[in-house]
Amino acid sequence: MTRLLLLALTPVLAALATSQPARAKTVHALVIGIDQYDTLSDLNGAVNDARIIAEALNKRNADEVVLLLDGAATRERIFAEARRLAEAAARQSGWLIMTYAGHGGQETERIAGDEEDGLDEVFLLSGFNTKGKQSGQRIVDNEIFALLSAVPKGVNVLFVADSCHSGTMTRDADPRAGLLSRRFANYGPIENDALPPLPVATKGMETTELEHVIFVAGAKDSEAVQEVFIDGVPHGAVSYFLSRSILGDIDGNGRGASTMAEFRQMLVLAADMANEQRQGASVNFLPGRGGEPWVFATRPKSTEAAARVVPAELTLAIIGDGVAPAGVKLVQDRQQAMLIWDVARGQVVANGLGDQVAEKDARTGDAVFIAGVTDKWRALPGFRALATSHPLAVTIGQDGAQKRYASGRVPIGFGGNRSDTLKYLTAFNIAGDGTIQSLFPRRSRPAEGEALSPDFVVQMEAGVQPPFGADHIIAIATAARPDQLRQRLATLEGKRAAGEALAMVQASLSGSDYALGIAGLYTGPLP
């Protein structure tokens, strides 16, 4: 368990974006999801992503949604539909939305000097093969630039790539993890390439430089997109939370409208929380567009904002002789397990993430240990749901939460809320085994429980020591002083009670104005 020590309280001023009412626009969308590949490893969650995005668009009365899954998403069909939908959007200066969930890759650049690293980024389609005619079932980044730059004037474009062009993970995966799929494929040289020559005019050009394009990426160019379990279902985190934003769950100021800046903040924070900061999502648009309205009008905050989230069924695979706790489903296939328990070593690994998340100390029995760990991982989705549309930033370390820390002290900060009314901070830690540890306000300093400056940031330190795993820091900003919540959380101090803590927080926040942040601090020996 990581020992957390509070340091100084530091006020930080931040500029607040002014939200304007979102205007109704026509929306035409091309949604692509590919799980099944002829020659590459299959994925688990790309089709899930496409379906929930299409469903969200239809619920918001998009004018037209074309859904292409697996083998239906051919190169020819994609380009034809994209051009047709762009023309349709142009009739009323509307929006063209294109989303891709599937494998990405890299290959030697086709235009000499085009890329800084000498490699083209590529989207790989279901029928792709490295030889002959089917080698044409891929799309190079230059072609995406040419396609989007040709969109008629007056059309705004949202292009989402929930794939990756690198197999690199920021924290090495534990070999015991079954792991969900990574959306990156290595493939050999192309023989008898069927792709047409690339437009020379696209040399050195980036899609992010197009003034009418909002470009969303599931990870940085140097990172892998790892599928994760959300509500017990494999997804790409960016696609899942894009669907939530389409449904209107991105209102950060309570006024029922969202700007592009709010859309970016919500999507990046929510995706980072879901994938435990293993990869860095990004939303890119030209400077000056942050105050523009997001295309989908949002719902004002309501009494449903903190409704109780029923924990999803948690699946557990066991290495060795152990018994699953009540309410946890035991599975044999590690790839179907959300958690993997190595009984002999007293450690638990989170599948999908590939991280060791808990380690038993010598004084704790197996049954008590695994009950606390599984209770925590059933509760975490509930905390993330509270944070999705009401985010509060939580920062971990100088290198970010993507790193695993082996020793020493790790700086942590939380705060910078976007509302002048959210001035009361409450924070606690959930250790790897589910133990609750109060962080803020400290009992020895009651003044910390009073109102803080509107854009406060609280700094603290975590001292890293065994047992190793994943601590999750929860920070909550509220408009009213949450005396009752603080008192109730105090009764859980030192107990393995993540589920109880979630219920207390849900009950306290229901119908109120709040912001909530959650971040994982991963500790353990470095490889």
Task: Describe the crossing of helices 46-59 and 237-246 by its angle, rounded to 10 degrees.
Answer: 10
pLDDT computed for residue 64 by the predictor: 97
Tokens standing for residue 276: 């435990």
Same domain, 11 and 103: no
Span 103-136, pLDDT tens digits: 998 888 788 777 777 888 899 999 999 999 999 9
pLDDT computed for residue 10 by the predictor: 35
Mean pLDDT, the chain, whole residue set: 83
Domain that holds residue 450: 3-15+386-523
How big is the CA angle at 104 (ends 72 and 260), to the nearest 5 degrees?
90
More confident site: 353 or 364: 364
Residue 493 covered by a domain: yes
More confident site: 125 or 515: 125
CATH number of the domain to which 398 belongs: 2.60.40
Q: What is the DSSP string of 106-163?
A: EEE-SSTT-STTSEEEEEE-TT--SBGGGGGSEEEHHHHHHHHHTSPTT-EEEEEEE-
pLDDT computed for residue 181 by the predictor: 60
Q: Could you tell me the pLDDT band of residue 449, with boundaries at 50, 70 and 90?
A: confident
Same domain, 7 and 124: no
Same domain, 10 and 110: no
pLDDT computed for residue 393 by the predictor: 81
Same domain, 34 and 155: yes
**What's the pTM?**
0.77
Q: Could you tell me the pLDDT band of residue 18, with boundaries at 50, 70 and 90?
A: very low
Residue 299 covered by a domain: no
pLDDT computed for residue 13 by the predictor: 26
Same domain, 44 and 106: yes
Residue 71 covered by a domain: yes
Number of C-beta neighbours around residue 237 at 10 A: 28
Residue 22, pLDDT > 50, answer: no
Residue 433 covered by a domain: yes
Same domain, 124 and 39: yes
pLDDT computed for residue 312 by the predictor: 61
The least confident of 8-22, 32-46, 159-173, 307-321 is: 8-22
Instruction: Examine the fold and report which residue of 208, 241, 258 is the final residue of a domain before the chain moves on.
Output: 208
Residue 436 covered by a domain: yes
Span 25-84, pLDDT tens digits: 799 999 999 999 999 999 989 999 999 999 999 999 999 999 999 999 999 999 999 999
Q: Which residue has the tokens 């197999």?
A: 167
Instruction: Examine the fold and report which residue of 208, 231, 250 is the final residue of a domain before the chain moves on.
Output: 208
pLDDT computed for residue 228 by the predictor: 78
Q: Which runs of E-coded beta strand occur in 423-509?
A: 424-430, 436-440, 456-463, 470-478
Same domain, 34 and 182: yes
Q: What is the DSSP string of 456-512?
A: EEEEEEEE--SSPSEEEEEEEEESS--HHHHHHHHTTBTSB-HHHHHHHHHHHHTTS
Q: Could you tell me the pLDDT band of residue 305, with boundaries at 50, 70 and 90?
A: very low
Residue 168, pLDDT > 50, answer: no
pLDDT computed for residue 252 by the predictor: 55
The least confident of 3-12, 275-284, 512-521 is: 3-12
pLDDT computed for residue 509 by the predictor: 93
State how many domains the chain has: 2
More confident site: 341 or 174: 341
Instruction: Examine the fold and report which residue of 152, 184, 208 is the final residue of a domain before the chain moves on.
Output: 208
Residue 355, pLDDT > 90, answer: no
Same domain, 171 and 39: yes
More confident site: 162 or 395: 162
pLDDT computed for residue 384 by the predictor: 86
Span 406-438, pLDDT tens digits: 888 989 888 765 567 888 999 999 999 999 999
Span 327-343, pLDDT tens digits: 999 999 887 888 999 99
CATH number of the domain to which 173 belongs: 3.40.50.1460
